[in-house]
């Protein structure tokens, strides 16, 4: 367990550090003010499609099986930490561009917008990391386009192990681009500028989702994904890469769990279609 800055510095000086590059070129036409999941975009790493498994049955996510931003092999019994990220854009289109690095843990594929009966989810598979659910959040990723404007909520088990909790009722936006966070908008009434769906008062994390209920009928599909937010950065302009040193600039250095599936959530200021986004991440293990 790393418990001091000195230990991290010594680990880096001893060569216990690795750096890996990533590159994404979205094919989707994204919309200003709506959060978007870069995991579904072409590039390095290859896209991950959140509709590639049996609908409504929980499926765990890992680097070894699904890819994601490469952060190297397992380091146990040592622990691995995020030292630094760099991010840049080939174009000024879509900037400024906030980015949230998440560990994607588990997803429930292809929830149907056309059903108003509760859609019961299968939780035979459980969280592979952060198993207590502390800090684990939920995103709704569009996997088939919709008209929009319909509301839904889900029931879940919180990080204290209490089942039957109810999320906030959220409204779906009208953006049909695959990968759009279905409940996000910076300006639309009834929607959130936050990619994560609000939980019942007092809750801070989710272990599993039990059911989803649509309050109106639409034609699309979305997948609910449990993620652990790890770090934030922002590309401000095309002329310079943004480098963030989490050892110096953040209140803590995020831990990267073994076999974590890492991906970026982003909120573009316009369309990212054909824009090359690239950068790297540095990890330290000790």
Give yes or no for residue 3 having a pLDDT over 70. Answer: no
pTM given for the model: 0.96
Mean pLDDT of all residues in 211-239: 97
Share of the chain above pLDDT 90, in %: 90
Mean pLDDT of all residues in 154-172: 97
pLDDT at 1: 45
Give yes or no for residue 189 having a pLDDT over 70. Answer: no
pLDDT at 5: 83
Q: Which pLDDT band, with edges at 50, 70 and 90, does 144 fall under?
A: very high
Q: Which pLDDT band, with edges at 50, 70 and 90, does 63 fall under?
A: very high
Give one DSSP letter per residue of the chain, joined into a string.
Answer: ---SHHHHHHHHHTT-EEEEEEEE---S---TT--EEGGGSSEESPP--TTSS-TTB-EE--HHHH--S---S--TTS-EEEEEEEEEESSSTT-SEEEEEEEEEEEEEEEETT--S-EEPB-SS--SSSTT-TT-EEEEEEEE------EEEEEEEETTS--SEEPPPEE--S--STTBBTTB-SSSTT-BSSSSPPPSTT---EEEEEEEEESS--S-EEEEEEEEEEEEEEE--TTS-EEEEHHHHSSSPPEE-TT-EEEEEE--SS--TT--EEEEEEEEE-
């Amino acid at each position: 367990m790393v418990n001091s800055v000195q230990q991290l510095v010594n680990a880096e000086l001893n060569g216990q550090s690795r750096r890996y590059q990533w590159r994404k070129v979205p094919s989707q036409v994204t919309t200003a003010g709506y959060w978007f999941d870069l995991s579904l975009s072409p590039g390095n790493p290859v896209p991950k499609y959140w509709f590639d498994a049996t609908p409504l049955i929980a499926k765990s996510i890992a680097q070894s099986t699904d890819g994601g931003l490469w952060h190297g092999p397992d380091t146990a019994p040592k622990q691995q930490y995020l030292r630094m990220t760099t991010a840049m854009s080939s174009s000024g289109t879509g900037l400024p561009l906030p980015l949230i690095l998440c560990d994607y843990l588990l997803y429930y594929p292809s929830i149907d917008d056309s059903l108003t009966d509760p859609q019961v989810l299968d939780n035979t598979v459980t969280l592979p990391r952060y198993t207590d659910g502390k800090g684990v959040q939920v995103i709704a990723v569009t996997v088939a386009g919709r008209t929009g404007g319909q509301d839904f909520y889900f029931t879940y088990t919180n990080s204290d192990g209490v089942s039957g909790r109810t999320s906030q009722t959220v409204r779906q936006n009208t953006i049909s681009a695959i990968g759009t966070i279905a409940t996000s908008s910076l300006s639309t009434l009834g929607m959130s500028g936050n990619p994560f769906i609000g939980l019942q008062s007092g809750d801070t994390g989710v272990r599993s989702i039990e059911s989803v209920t649509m309050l109106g009928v639409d034609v699309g599909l979305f997948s609910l994904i449990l993620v652990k937010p790890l770090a934030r950065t922002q590309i401000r302009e095309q002329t310079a890469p943004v480098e963030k040193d989490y050892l110096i600039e953040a209140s803590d250095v995020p831990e990267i769990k073994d076999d974590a599936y890492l991906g970026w959530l982003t909120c573009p200021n316009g369309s990212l279609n054909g824009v090359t986004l690239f950068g790297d991440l540095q990890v330290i293990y000790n």
